[in-house]
Amino acid sequence: MKPRKSTQISEFLLLGILEDPELQPLIFGLFLSMYLVTVLGNLLIILATISDSHLHMPMYFFLSNLSFVDICSTSTTVQKMLVNIQTQSEAITYMGCITQMCFFILFVGLDFFLLTVMAYDRFVAICHPLHYKVVMNHQLCVLLVLMCWILSVLNSLLQSLMVSWLSFCTHVEIPHFFL
């Protein structure tokens, strides 16, 4: 059976919070300030972890990675939303939508996997405190983060490829979408 691909549209219209033009500057300022606070807060966590030698432990290594992933995750969606608010555009191209979805799934999956690894780290620290340094060595920590990345990339590519084969012919408007 030969797979078919019949995508006949080039863009989607994202309907949502841009309907009232008087509120657009307020919404833009609100989301820009929240985005900057999120990015700066996560950057401070990363810088504190790197600069303080007392924080060179597995828990803070995972926390730094989680902060980096959170920066990437918010940057994936919020930047496009801010551009759409400024340009008063409600359109996103088909490839732009697939790309944004791919990166969003990648970083959300990484969040879940890293939180799972952090839970395992705390489990070892609490339940096996005498073996903690031996079990959670630097090599294992790097391997766990690498496995998180690999699994998340594979999941993201699989989900994006499956969506790219869907047919979008009738409804190009996506109601109540958070731009």
pLDDT in tens, 43-86: 999 999 999 999 899 999 999 999 999 999 999 988 888 887 88
**Nearest to 179, CA basis, from 64, 91, 63:** 91
What CATH code would you report for 11-174? 1.20.1070.10
Give the CB-side neighbour count of residue 4, counting CA atoms within 13 A: 6
Predicted structure pTM score: 0.81
pLDDT in tens, 93-139: 888 888 989 999 999 999 999 999 999 999 999 999 999 999 999 99
Residue 23 pLDDT > 90: no
Contacts of 50 (CB under 8 A, 6+ apart): 64
Band (8; pLDDT cuts 50, 70, 90): low
Contacts of 144 (CB under 8 A, 6+ apart): 117, 120
